[in-house]
């Protein structure tokens, strides 16, 4: 596995930060080395039982396949390539979780950061196709299908506020520790590409003692309500899963944190339910409800992608009755992390990648398409194009107002809800995109 990582360092971790960097124009990767190395490396790290998820690698594998389709069909320039990468990423997550709508939403909300109609339609189409193949060709079943019998009455909704605060605090702790792990591993003086030997050694005694508690954690989630009301056991399980998840992911081996995050959230929800039950404040038969809600809340605050969290859990459970408690809990946890200055975990991990400066600074013609939505309260809402100080290294080529395309002129009035299409240099896309976002959002 170390040889694979040394040959292609960008297969390390979940792969979602790398996909995000590709779509943002900050990284240019070759799809074939990523595809086969990530596939083999993921099997070698997830197979032995490391506390890693397969969802992140599935997203990077899907993105690599999408990029490969573009290369093989010679449709690999600018926006077409990014659409294929985004569509492949959505398909990867949909196949892993059997949640096609959440797969498409995750790409838009967390990876692409743009609700482009083109990306939305293509991502949804690829996600649905991948889900159909996974279910009806390979016979895969949803990895998380948590049943519950009772709907949470509104008189118990105050528990969602308290649990949301706890999840937000634990989520911020998760972010801090995750981002600190590479520095901790570097103190071992081992080369980065062989640091994976540490979790592989540690998993042996753990697997011998607790064979049912290792791995990504989906079986742990499904059996949480069967472990009884032992608070000590649940607290020990939380400590075990948290510490070993950090050791596993921090080593840089191929594997994701998507499922481990859901697992930790579920355990926190179970601990809260048992504690409140012992205090006489909540019937224990609502434990399954809080397990479901806490999964969404914990993922929402760590990734700062609440819509994806809500839709993902809704698709997994197969019921719309829990939408309100899911939304309340996710919102509270999100606000807590936001108040603690937490950034989306995948975006923070992306910032730590060794981005290719030669690619970023490349100079060429306007060969890439960039689309920006104009929101209510934007600094350019209600201004004419001639009065807007756009960067010099872009071309304004179209303005979309609903389904209507306007030819941009100096006297074209920009309104909230418009979508402006620019042509930029592919090598400068990331820098120009940030400059435009800051200007449009009124940040000086």
Longest dimension (CA), the chain: 72
Does position 203 have pLDDT exceeding 70, yes or no?
A: yes
Whether 16 and 58 have beta carbons less than 8 Å apart is answered as no
Q: Does residue 143 fall inside a structural domain? A: no
In whole angstroms, give the CA distance from residue 160 to residue 196: 38
pTM of the model: 0.83
Counted domains in the chain: 3
pLDDT the model gives residue 51: 92
Tell me: do 323 and 286 sit in the same domain: yes
Q: 395-401 and 404-406 as β-strands: parallel, antiparallel, unpaired?
A: antiparallel
Residue 358 lies in a domain: no
Residue range 417-444: average pLDDT? 77
Structure tokens at 263: 């697992």
User: What residues have CB less than 8 Å from 296, skipping those under 6 apart?
Assistant: 265, 309, 310, 312, 313, 326, 329, 330
Out of 327, 351, 375, pick the residue that ends a domain.
Answer: 351
Domain end point (choices 293, 327, 351) = 351
Q: Both 134 and 162 in a single domain?
A: no
Could you tell me which of 110, 59, 55 has the C-alpha nearest to residue 85? 59
144 domain-assigned: no
pLDDT exceeds 90 at position 242: yes
Q: Are residues 344 and 407 in the same domain?
A: no
In a domain, 401, yes or no: yes
Please check whether residue 148 lies inside any domain of the structure: no
Average pLDDT (416-435) is 81
The pLDDT value recorded for residue 359 is 43
Q: Does residue 304 contact residue 342 with C-beta atoms inside 8 Å? A: yes
Note whether 54 and 161 are same-domain residues. Answer: no
Q: What pLDDT, in 10s, does the model give residues 21-75?
A: 888 777 888 899 999 999 999 999 999 999 998 888 999 999 999 999 988 887 6
**Do 194 and 319 share a domain, yes or no?**
yes
Does residue 268 sit within a domain? Answer: yes
**Does the residue 318 lie in any domain?**
yes
Residue 131, C-beta contacts closer than 8 angstroms, at least 6 positions apart: 94, 95, 98, 99, 100, 103
Residue of higher predicted confidence among 48 and 431? 48
Confidence of residue 81 (pLDDT cuts 50, 70, 90): confident
Q: Are residues 377 and 435 in the same domain?
A: yes
3-state secondary structure 111-153: HHCCCCHHHHHHHHHHHHHHHHHHHHCCCCCCCCCCCCCCCCC
Above 90 in pLDDT, residue 404?
no
d(CA 200, CA 41) in angstroms, rounded, equals 13
69: how many CB neighbours lie within 10 A of its CB?
17
pLDDT score at 358: 43
pLDDT in tens, 206-237: 989 988 888 888 888 888 877 767 899 999 99
pLDDT computed for residue 249 by the predictor: 93
Model pLDDT, residue 78: 66
**Domain holding 245: CATH number?**
1.10.3080.10
As a three-state string, the secondary structure of the chain is CHHHHHHCHHHCECCHHHHHHHHCCCCCCCHHHHHHHHHHHHHHHHCCCCCCECHHHHHHHHHHHHHHHHHHCCCCCHHHHHHHHHHHHHHHHHHHHCCHHHHHHHHHHHHHCCCCHHHHHHHHHHHHHHHHHHHHCCCCCCCCCCCCCCCCCHHHCHHHHHHHHHHHHHHHHHHHHHHHHHHHHHCCCCCHHHCCHHHHHHHHHHHHHCHHHCCCCHHHHHCHHHCCCCHHHHHHHHHHHHHHHHHHHHCCCECECHHHHHHHHHHHHHHHHHHHHHCCCCCHHHHHHHHHHHHHHHHHHHHCCHHHHHHHHHHHHCCCCCHHHHHHHHHHHHHHHHHCCCCCHHHHHHCCCCCCHHHHCCCCCCCEEEEEECCCCCCCCCCEHHHCCCCCCCEEEEEEECCEEECCCCCCECCCCCEEEEEECHHHHHHHHHHHHHHHCCCC
Strands 395-401 and 419-424: antiparallel
Confidence of residue 444 (pLDDT cuts 50, 70, 90): very low
Do 173 and 100 belong together in one domain? no
**Residue 120 pLDDT > 80, yes or no?**
yes
Q: What is the mean pLDDT of residues 285-299?
A: 92
Distance of alpha carbon 35 from alpha carbon 26, whole angstroms: 19
- Of 38, 3, 59, which is closest to residue 30 (Cα–Cα)? 38
What's the average model confidence in pLDDT over 354-377?
64
Residues 347 and 376 in one domain: no
What is the chain's mean pLDDT, rounded? 86
The least confident of 88-92, 138-142, 145-149, 419-423 is 145-149
Q: Are residues 184 and 326 in the same domain?
A: yes
Q: Which of 190, 182, 185 is nearest to 2 (CA)?
A: 190
Domain with 398 in it: what CATH number?
3.30.70.1450
- 113 and 57 in a single domain? The answer is yes
Same domain, 211 and 75: no
Q: Which of 351, 386, 402 is the last residue of a domain?
A: 351
What pLDDT is attached to residue 332?
A: 97
CB atoms within 10 A of CB 106: 31
CA distance 354 to 346: 15
383 and 236 housed in the same domain = no
Has residue 338 got a pLDDT over 90?
yes
Residue 183 above 80 pLDDT? yes
User: Is pLDDT of 364 > 60?
Assistant: no
For residue 354, what pLDDT band results from cuts at 50, 70 and 90?
Answer: low
**Is position 356 within any domain?**
no
pLDDT for 401: 84
Higher local confidence (pLDDT), 147 or 239: 239
Domain with 202 in it? 154-351
């Amino acid at each position: 596995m170390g040889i694979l990582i040394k040959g292609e360092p960008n297969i390390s971790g979940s792969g979602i930060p790398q996909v995000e960097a590709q779509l943002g124009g900050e990284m240019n990767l070759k799809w074939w080395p990523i595809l086969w190395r990530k596939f083999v490396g993921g099997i070698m790290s997830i197979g032995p039982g490391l506390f890693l998820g397969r969802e992140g690698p599935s997203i990077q594998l899907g993105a690599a396949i999408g990029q490969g389709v573009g290369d093989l069909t010679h449709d690999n320039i600018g926006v077409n390539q990014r659409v294929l990468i985004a569509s492949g990423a959505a398909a990867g997550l949909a196949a892993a979780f059997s949640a096609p709508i959440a797969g498409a939403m995750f790409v838009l909300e967390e990876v692409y950061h743009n609700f482009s109609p083109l990306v939305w339609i293509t991502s949804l189409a690829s996600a649905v196709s991948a889900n159909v193949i996974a279910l009806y060709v390979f016979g895969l079943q949803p990895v998380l299908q948590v049943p519950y019998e009772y709907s949470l009455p509104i008189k118990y909704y105050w528990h969602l506020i308290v649990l949301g605060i706890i999840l937000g605090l634990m989520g911020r702790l998760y972010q801090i520790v995750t981002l600190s792990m590479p520095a901790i591993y570097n103190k071992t003086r081992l080369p980065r590409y062989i640091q994976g030997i540490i979790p592989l050694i540690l998993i042996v005694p753990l697997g011998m003692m607790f064979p049912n508690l290792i791995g990504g954690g989906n079986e742990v989630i499904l059996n949480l309500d069967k472990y009884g009301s032992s608070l000590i056991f649940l607290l020990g399980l939380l400590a075990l899963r948290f510490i070993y998840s950090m050791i596993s992911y921090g080593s840089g081996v191929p594997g994701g944190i998507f499922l481990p995050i859901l697992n930790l959230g579920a355990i926190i929800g179970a601990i809260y339910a048992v504690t409140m039950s012992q205090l006489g404040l909540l019937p224990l038969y609502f434990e399954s409800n809080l397990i479901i809600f806490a999964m969404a809340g914990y993922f929402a605050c760590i990734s700062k992608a609440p819509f994806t969290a809500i839709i993902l859990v809704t698709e997994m459970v197969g019921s719309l009755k829990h939408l309100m408690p899911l939304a309340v809990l996710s919102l509270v946890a999100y606000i807590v992390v936001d108040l603690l200055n937490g950034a989306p975990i995948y975006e923070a991990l992306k910032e730590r990648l060794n981005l290719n400066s030669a690619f970023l600074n490349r100079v060429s013609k306007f060969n890439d398409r960039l689309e920006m939505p104009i929101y209510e309260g934007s600094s350019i809402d209600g201004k004419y194009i001639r009065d807007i100080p756009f960067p010099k290294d872009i071309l304004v080529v179209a303005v979309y107002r609903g389904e209507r395309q306007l030819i941009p002129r100096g006297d074209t009035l920009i309104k909230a809800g418009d979508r402006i299409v620019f042509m930029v240099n592919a090598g400068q896309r990331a820098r120009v995109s940030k400059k435009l976002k800051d200007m449009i959002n009124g940040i000086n």
